[in-house]
Amino acid sequence: MIGTLIRCIDCNKVINMTEWDHCPQYAWHNGEIIEQVGNERETFRQRHKGHTIEELVPLTPPISDKPYTEPLKTAYFEATNGKRRFLIKRWRSTIDDPLAYEIIEGSIVLTNGKVQAQSEAIKQQIRMEHNSFISETKLDFFVKAIEKEVENVDPYTLKESAVGETPLISFYQLGTECVDRILARCQDMFNQGELKLLRDFIIEHNEYNDVMTVVAQKEFTIKKETQKDETPRTAHSAQRISMPPPTPHRTIKTV
């Protein structure tokens, strides 16, 4: 969760302030539930007292090669103060640690891998819906026609319709021209009724991450470079930010 990113200009350190900053954490100790109240804002304020502080605005979503559900993954995103872009690393060392943020040199370079058809999923779906209408020979021919079409398809020309378990996996819809070429390859093998069935099948299952969408595995690298100025964007720079004092610790006894 990205809340308000605050950067100390003097130290080049960054903190992410969210609405959960003052929420307590609970731990079991000697038969009691201990409420542990932290305040990273106050720690940051004390550590950077008298320094110049500015707000950074995220420009890209956090990206990682690990699943969204992985709590210990390292992710990267870019942010700006309105004049300069910053690359920010986000991570935590243990499940109980808060997320840490660090400004590092470089920028994110994201590339799309080749798209692939969901061949086995297509076969299973057609068998379930139209097993009595299309033979295995024709089904194999149809799937090979799809695979032939997507061999050289540039994902940048397709519409992204869903993301996978990581930010690097994307599903893309087949465009109208792709669909027409697939069906053209099938003309000599299928009759008109079957071709209509195939067209309807493609259209019905060509959304989100359904079986007729194609999958691309993206790759990202960190390009090492010095920070560059950019066209000003909406951001609040060089401002003093007031942070409330921490709440004292307290203990809750179980009944």
Beta bridge partners of 56: 5
Nearest C-alpha neighbor of 231 from the set 53, 80, 9: 80
E strand map for 49-156: 53-58, 75-80, 85-91, 100-104, 107-111, 115-116
Mean of pLDDT values over 221-244 = 54
Q: How far apart are CA 27 and CA 31, in angstroms?
A: 10
Quote the tokens at residue 185: 């390859």
Q: How far apart are CA 93 and CA 98, in angstroms?
A: 9
DSSP assigned state of 132: T
pLDDT on residue 255: 28
Give the pLDDT confidence of 70-109 residue by residue, as tens digits.
Answer: 999 999 999 999 999 999 999 998 887 888 999 999 999 9
Mean of pLDDT values over 199-224 = 94
Pairing status of strand 107-111 against strand 219-223: antiparallel
Nearest C-alpha neighbor of 163 from the set 59, 57, 64: 64
Q: How far apart are CA 172 and CA 137, in angstroms?
A: 27
Among 28-32, 73-77, 218-222, 233-237, the range scoring the smallest mean pLDDT is 233-237
pTM here? 0.69
Give the pLDDT confidence of 140-199 residue by residue, as tens digits.
Answer: 999 999 999 999 898 889 999 999 999 999 999 999 999 999 999 999 999 999 999 999
